[in-house]
Amino acid sequence: MSIDTQASVAPQRNISRFTKPIFMAAILAIWCLIPLFVGGSQYMLDLFIIMIINAVLAMGFILVFRTGLVFLAVMTFYGIGAYAGIVFTLKVGMSFWIALPLSAITTALIAFLLSPFLLGRTTSPLQFIVISSILGMMFALAVGNTKWLGGYSGVQGIPDPPPLFGIDFSYGKIQWFYLEVVMLVVVIALLLGFYNSSVGRAWRSIGLGPRLAESIGVNIYRYRVVAFVLCTFIVGLFGCFYAHYIGYISPDGFNMWQNTYLQLYAILGGLGFPIWGPIVGAGIMVFVPEYLRPIRQYAQLFTALILILLILYMPSGILGIKDAKWVRNISRSIQNAIFRPKAVKANQTSGS
């Protein structure tokens, strides 16, 4: 049985090598056309922007999860990025375009300095959960008690970015949408580059079996630090973006429950799909409650029920359905019909 699938998959290599980039480019093109489809509805654009932010946060979570650690402080570093961006633009008076990369770098630097503390003595996943969850719980309290950062009432009146290439960011959301598309492409390119390099293979080996990986000679600590710092870099970048997009932030937006909701986005799409899983998961978790709005009282109940049913009957996520047997059979027959009508006949004749 397994040999049969191998044989049918092998000749498709040539096709899949070209289809994947084309597929991604096509989705990117469709994504860029979304403002046309929604007809300039600011509300829908807002939902799309929030959805991508959530998806990127979940990508960060999966990035660390792939090295075998459950990271419960994603929101903390998101908040550090947001507050760093505000400090740079409001207190220091920098331009947004310098503050954006700078806040991401600041977040990554803070994460790098914290990494001996978070990862240095980590021998078990439980301890990382413990320390990172304390960090996650602490952020809202720490910022709330700091007068300089606005305390619990938050920071208001975050300035709009100055015009870039003649594009004005002070009104409308389309500019923000395209800025986010650019940032998303950068993030995905960064992630794909890492996942497909030797670093990504080391991460996979650590995630599959830390002890085995260590015995082969993979330096677990160093690779985990790389994953952790990369995750916080991405998350901090979008934190600064979010703060300037919304124009108002308060520490309550970065509390512990937000951290757990991130995992919903990640696991709904499927933890085995580091790029598309979070996008699908965040899309569902943002748009399904929106369409349940007319029955607002019951909306969250339905969301929770859908969540529990998905966990029970699709533990590998929505994208994981492509590994189900019946889906694979159908897709193989479609591929055979489209791409290789002659090859199927040749197989049948040579098989006898």
Partner 1 sequence: MTGSLFGQLIFDGLAIGLVFVILSCGMITITSIIKMLFLAFGAFYTIGAYGTWYAMEYLHVHYWIGLLIGVVIAVVIGLLSYILIFGQLKKKLGTRAFMSTLIGSVGLQILLTQGGVLVYGNMSRSIPNVLPGVFHPFGMNITIAKLMLIGISVAAALILFWVYQKTAIGRSMRAVSYIPDAAALQGINTNRVFLTAMGIATALAGLAGAILAPNYGMDPLMGSNVIWTVMLINQLGGMGSLLGAVFAGIIVGQALSWGMFFMGSLIQLVIFVSIMIVVYFRPFGLMGRDIELGL
Please tell me whether residue 198 binds partner 1 under the rule CB under 8 A: no
User: CA 153 to CA 137: how far, in whole Å?
Assistant: 18
Please tell me whether residue 212 binds partner 1 under the rule CB under 8 A: no
Please tell me whether residue 288 binds partner 1 under the rule CB under 8 A: no
Q: Are 226 and 220 in contact (CB under 8 A)?
A: no
Please tell me whether residue 6 binds partner 1 under the rule CB under 8 A: no
Interface pick for partner 1 out of 58, 264, 280, 286 (rule CB under 8 A): 264
Q: Write down the least CB distance from residue 15 to partner 1, Å.
A: 34
Give the closest residue to 85 by CA, choosing from 104, 70, 58, 64.
Answer: 104
Interface pick for partner 1 out of 34, 38, 102, 127 (rule CB under 8 A): 127
Please tell me whether residue 324 binds partner 1 under the rule CB under 8 A: no
DSSP output for 117-138? HHHTT--SHHHHHHHHHHHHHH
User: CA 23 to CA 29: how far, in whole Å?
Assistant: 10
Mark residue 270 as left, alpha or beta (left: phi above 0; alpha: psi -120 to 50; beta: remaining).
left
Please tell me whether residue 221 binds partner 1 under the rule CB under 8 A: no
Query: Within 13 Å, how many C-alpha atoms sit on residue 195's CB side?
Result: 18
Q: What is the DSSP secondary structure assignment for residue 195, as one 8-state letter?
A: H
Of 154 and 159, which CB lies nearer to partner 1 in the complex structure? Answer: 154
Piece in contact with partner 1 (CB under 8 A), picked from 27-35, 37-45, 127-135, 339-347: 127-135
Interface pick for partner 1 out of 45, 58, 64, 68 (rule CB under 8 A): 68
Of 25 and 134, which CB lies nearer to partner 1 in the complex structure? Answer: 134
User: CA 84 to CA 235: how far, in whole Å?
Assistant: 12
Interface pick for partner 1 out of 15, 20, 97, 117 (rule CB under 8 A): 117
Piece in contact with partner 1 (CB under 8 A), picked from 4-12, 35-43, 104-112, 297-305: 297-305
Please tell me whether residue 208 binds partner 1 under the rule CB under 8 A: no
Burial of 107 (0-12, 13-18, 19+ CB in 10 A): buried
Amino acid, res. 310: L
Of 13 and 293, which CB lies nearer to partner 1 in the complex structure? Answer: 293
Please tell me whether residue 285 binds partner 1 under the rule CB under 8 A: no
**Largest Cα span, the chain:** 80
Interface pick for partner 1 out of 308, 330, 337, 343 (rule CB under 8 A): 308
Q: Write down the least CB distance from residue 187 to partner 1, Å.
A: 23
Q: Write down the least CB distance from residue 243 to partner 1, Å.
A: 22
Please tell me whether residue 156 binds partner 1 under the rule CB under 8 A: no
Q: What is the DSSP secondary structure assignment for residue 160, as one 8-state letter?
A: P
Q: Write down the least CB distance from residue 293 to partner 1, Å.
A: 15
Please tell me whether residue 267 binds partner 1 under the rule CB under 8 A: yes
Q: Are 74 and 259 in contact (CB under 8 A)?
A: yes
Tokens of 187: 């993030």
Tokens of 201: 């293979």
Give the closest residue to 51 by CA, choosing from 261, 196, 335.
Answer: 261
Give the closest residue to 154 by CA, choosing from 255, 83, 235.
Answer: 83
Size of the site for partner 1 (CB under 8 A): 42
Please tell me whether residue 300 binds partner 1 under the rule CB under 8 A: yes
Of residues 231-260, those binding partner 1 (CB under 8 A): 256-257, 260
DSSP output for 201-247? HHHHHHHH-HHHHHHHT--HHHHHHHHHHHHHHHHHHHHHHHHHHHS
Please tell me whether residue 271 binds partner 1 under the rule CB under 8 A: yes
Binding site for partner 1 (CB under 8 A): 65, 68, 70, 117, 121-127, 129-131, 133-135, 137-138, 141-142, 145, 256-257, 260-261, 263-264, 267, 271, 297-298, 300-301, 303-305, 307-308, 311-312, 315
